[in-house]
């Protein structure tokens, strides 16, 4: 449902492009053609409004089915809890199931989880999402933890806000609902954080402390922070749409779309294709020489 864009940067770029295209159109078309194009754009605006209503209906329907999904997820949590009780203190390979959610997260985006993170995430007992439609459209990704020696939070929450309306300055650029903002939560560490996690290392728990995008698009840090947030939006959406509902096949390894390896796989495929093309070119060249 959600597109993964930052509306502020997209809007500024879109307005610039729209202005250039309008100028080109004014130079290209006759007055009668301009009137015809304007009439069809008015019709297009009506289809955009229908798309907005459709996105709302889809989101409301998703929210309606949330409780049904949670009934299933409750059963999944119960199965895991019962397994832990039966196998408490067991040092057999069954510990893999005891650390179910840790293994799921490692299978879905390994590069964000350090060795120190693993010790903490061993207490993770569930991950859920919660949808909100009023007063704003948003969803929470909730990480539920057993009591542990690291922090006092029972739940760590990351919230993603959705924009379901077209840009008033450039409505023709509307392409569906989009995530435009994210907020983390405060982690109440029982000991100083630097004792738990080295700030010089990449850690999963930075997920709950996203950077703030500067208001000024000309700020020298804007592009870097915007890129970080785009990646953050993708992770939140990925957890919501893929990892949580498909957790069991991430655990068993029966799903291949690992967030951390997708880019490298794409790069590898591109390299293979490039190598193949070079071989073909060399073959063609050798043939021509002969």
- The side-by-side arrangement of strands in the sheet containing 138-145 is 3-4, 178-183, 155-163, 138-145, 124-132
The string of pLDDT tens digits covering residues 108-145 is 875 678 888 999 999 999 999 999 987 888 999 999 99
Pairing of strands 178-183, 3-4: parallel
Q: Strand ranges (DSSP E) for 76-148?
A: 124-132, 138-145
What distance in Å separates the CA atoms of residue 177 and residue 51, rounded to the nearest whole number? 9
Boundaries of every domain in the chain: 3-257
For the entire predicted model, the pTM comes to 0.74
Architecture per CATH, 3-257: 2-Layer Sandwich (3.30)
The string of pLDDT tens digits covering residues 149-197 is 999 999 999 999 988 777 767 777 777 678 889 999 999 999 876 667 6
The DSSP letter of residue 243 is I
CA angle 234, 120, 130 (to 5 degrees): 45
Residue 271 has pLDDT above 70, yes or no: no
Q: Widest CA span of the chain, in angstroms?
A: 81
Strand-pair partners of 138: 132, 161
What distance in Å separates the CA atoms of residue 268 and residue 51, rounded to the nearest whole number? 37
């Amino acid at each position: 449902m959600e597109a993964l864009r930052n509306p502020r940067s997209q809007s500024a770029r879109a307005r610039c492009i729209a202005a250039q295209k309008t100028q080109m159109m004014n130079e290209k078309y006759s007055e009668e053609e301009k009137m015809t194009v304007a009439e069809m754009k008015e019709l297009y605006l009506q289809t955009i409004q229908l798309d907005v209503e459709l996105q709302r209906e889809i989101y409301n329907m998703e929210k309606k089915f949330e409780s049904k999904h949670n009934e299933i997820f409750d059963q999944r949590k119960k199965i895991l809890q019962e397994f832990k009780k039966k196998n408490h203190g067991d040092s057999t390979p069954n510990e893999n199931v005891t650390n179910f959610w840790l293994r799921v997260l490692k299978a879905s985006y390994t590069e964000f989880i350090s060795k120190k993170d693993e010790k903490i995430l061993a207490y993770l007992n569930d991950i859920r999402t919660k949808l909100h439609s009023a007063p704003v459209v948003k969803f929470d990704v909730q990480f539920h933890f057993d009591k542990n020696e690291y922090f006092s939070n029972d739940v760590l929450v990351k919230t993603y806000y959705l924009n379901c309306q077209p840009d008033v300055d450039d409505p023709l650029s509307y392409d569906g609902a989009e995530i435009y903002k994210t907020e983390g939560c405060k982690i109440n560490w029982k000991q100083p954080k630097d004792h738990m996690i080295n700030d010089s290392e990449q850690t999963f728990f930075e997920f709950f402390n996203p950077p703030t995008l500067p208001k000024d698009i000309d700020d020298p840090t804007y592009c870097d922070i915007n890129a970080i947030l785009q990646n953050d939006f993708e992770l939140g959406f990925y957890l919501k749409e893929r990892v949580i509902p498909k957790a069991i096949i991430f655990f068993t390894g029966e799903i291949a779309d690992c967030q951390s390896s997708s880019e490298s796989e794409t790069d590898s495929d591109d390299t293979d294709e490039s190598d193949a093309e070079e071989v073909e070119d060399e073959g063609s060249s050798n043939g021509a020489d002969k």
